[in-house]
Amino acid sequence: MSNFSKTTHRHTDGTPVKGHAGIREDQHDPYLAHAKPAEPTWCPSCGAVFEQGRWQWKERLSPRAPQLLCAACRRTNDHMPAGIVQIDGEFARAHRDEMLAMLQHRAERAKAEHPLQRIMAISDTADGLEVTTTDIHLAHELAQALHHTYHGDLQLHYGDKQVLLRAHWRR
């Protein structure tokens, strides 16, 4: 038995610290696999390969390898983002193209290393832009990049089970 005590890993308000007794994505996100697929398995939609315990960008090894839609492709097909970044304000409208280039560059860099982290869509809204992502970590990274680069006000709101992040940046 471990000496780990749940009570010693809590925030001052009593909520569990993530990574200790906190919510685990693998238990609550319906788009994450409950069991690892056979290796190698490839996604017929995007071409990512599941090998060595994770999704990677590789050449498909065999035409007879098992196929399985990865979580990012399933989310995209279902139009169910894990992250929503709302970008509002006069500054955002005036610097739209510059911001989009920065966000797309960051997303491409993340996608190269983590195939499940992708931008699903970028939409114009009445107040600015909305960026939807397949992963909460990418949405968080994009929102933090906006805040770091352009300052402004950033609000992050996680869903009850931490499978959805709504980020709102305004300047």
Q: List, for residues 20-62, the tens digit of each pLDDT value.
A: 344 444 446 778 777 888 888 999 999 999 999 999 999 867 7
Residue partners of 63: CB distance under 8 A and separation at least 6: none
Q: What is the pLDDT of residue 59?
A: 80
For the beta carbon of residue 141, count every other beta carbon within 10 angstroms: 21
* pLDDT for residue 10 is more than 90: no
> What residues form DSSP beta bridges with 49?
42, 56
**Torsion from C-alpha of 150, 153, 154, 155, nearest 10 degrees:** -170
Q: What is the pLDDT of residue 145?
A: 97
**Phi, psi dihedrals of residue 125, rounded to the nearest 5°:** -120, 175
Which range is least confidently modeled, 17-31, 66-80, 113-127? 17-31
**Tokens encoding 36:** 């690892």
Helix (H, G, I), strand (E, B) or coil at 28: helix
Helix (H, G, I), strand (E, B) or coil at 158: strand
- Measure Cα distances from 18 to 13, 25, 37, 166 in Å: 14, 10, 26, 18
